[in-house]
Amino acid sequence: MAIRDNTKEITVGNVKIGGGNPIPVQSMTNTLTEDVDATVDQILRLEKKGCEIIRLAVPTTQAAEAFKEIKKRIHIPVVADIHFNHRLAIKAIENGADKIRINPGNIGSREKVKEVVKAASERNIPIRVGVNGGSLEKDLISKYGGVTAEGIAQSALRQTGFIEELGYDNLVVSIKSSDVLMSLEAHKKVAGKLPYPLHVGITEAGTVLSGTVKSSVGLGLILSEGIGDTIRVSLTDEPETEVYVAKQILKSLGLKKGGVEIVSCPTCGRTQIDLIGLADRVHEEFDDCDKDIKIAVMGCVVNGPGEAKEADIGVAGGNGTGIVIKKGEIIKKVPEAGLMDALREEIEKL
């Protein structure tokens, strides 16, 4: 699957987005940004999970000032999330934010936006222009008879045009809706008219299960159009889960390589092993492994070897006995209780 390569390349800290670069995964902290220790701890955990850009809420002056210390202790770029108060955007820039996220429509007057753009321009800090279906301008809601893809697209064009008129084009654009098909249509409209990288996501997607399904469908559709230069999955859960789901979406579409891929079969009437528990343990132990391998977890010895033939290593079992499979060939038989130890031993050899 191709990544749209005709967008402007934007540099956020040490990460390049757009212009055909690999799609980085983003998330957002849920700590109080003012609590530097808690925020840093969470960011470091997210880094280990594969988060490449992190966004922080900036509701207070203290939160903006915290960026200076936070930046010293982490390794990925930080984005300041600003609503309404242009002074907080400027303060975050002054304290080291690598990018700011604003909606020019809720910042206030043109003069206030101009001050933010001036501060960003002086430090060459990218501005992410964020448009959300839930906060669409009233005149566009009236014009299109509600929140629509056309209205969201027009808002994005309006807001980016506003900043372009101020002489600044170091921009990333984000258009979000909780409606999957509306999001797809809005992204298609904007992608054909703006040269800037698009940060994609389905906003307010929901809890882990429903939100993962909704995000996977929505982002799969958008990314399959070649649209999207950076990604966030929005879930009502811990940020680490968002990062995991985003990575899996990109891997499933062939847009992210490397790391462990775990495949497992569904349970059926032939299953004579605690397959769900085994698959969960394999996921927990090896998901963060830095080896570029595929691990298969199969439920029975009848179909296991054949179904696992494309994996580098796999396990299957039944009736108290387990087998270890390498490239479709059984290489070892062990008691079911010893499967994890045997799998671990073989993975270490790879």
Work out the number of other CB atoms within 10 angstroms of the CB of residue 312.
19
Q: What long-range pairs does 147-152 form, CB within 8 A, spacing at least 24?
A: 147/177, 147/182, 148/182, 149/177, 149/182, 149/183, 149/185, 149/186, 149/189, 150/186, 150/189, 152/177, 152/182, 152/186
Average pLDDT over residues 116-143: 89
Residue 250 has pLDDT above 80, yes or no: yes
Lowest mean pLDDT among 112-121, 148-157, 196-205, 252-261: 252-261
Task: Provide the 3-class DSSP secondary structure of residue 12.
Answer: strand
pLDDT in tens, 188-222: 999 989 999 999 999 887 889 999 999 999 999 99
Quick one: pLDDT band at residue 305, thresholds 50, 70, 90?
Answer: low
Q: How far is CA 217 from the centre of its chain?
A: 14
Query: Where do the domains of the chain lie?
Result: 10-252, 261-349
Domain 10-252 indexed as CATH 3.20.20.20: yes
Q: Which residue, among 293, 174, 179, has the nearest Cα to 231 in the 3D structure? A: 174
Between 278 and 175, the higher pLDDT residue: 175
What is d(CA 230, CA 210) in angstroms, rounded to the nearest whole number? 22
Residue-level pLDDT at 23: 95
Locate tokens 């997607």: which residue? 205
Alpha carbon separation from 181 to 98, 147, 149, 176, 194 (Å, rounded): 32, 13, 9, 11, 20
Fold for the domain defined by 261-349: Sulfite Reductase Hemoprotein; domain 1 (3.30.413)
Task: Tell whether the torsion through CA atoms of 140, 166, 119 and 191 is positive or negative.
Answer: positive
Helix (H) or strand (E) holding 324: strand 321-326
Residue-wise pLDDT for 74-111, tens only, equals 999 999 999 888 999 999 999 999 999 987 777 777 88
**pLDDT recorded at residue 134:** 76
> What's at 155, amino acid-wise?
S
Q: What is the pTM of this model?
A: 0.88
Read off the pLDDT band of 177 (50, 70, 90): confident
**Separation CA 100–CA 189 (nearest Å):** 24
User: Would you say 304 and 314 are in contact if contact means Cβ atoms under 8 Å apart?
Assistant: yes
pLDDT, tens only, 18-48: 999 999 999 999 999 999 999 999 999 999 9
Q: Using alpha carbons, list the distances in angstroms from residue 270 to 305, 307, 310, 313, 328.
A: 15, 15, 22, 22, 20
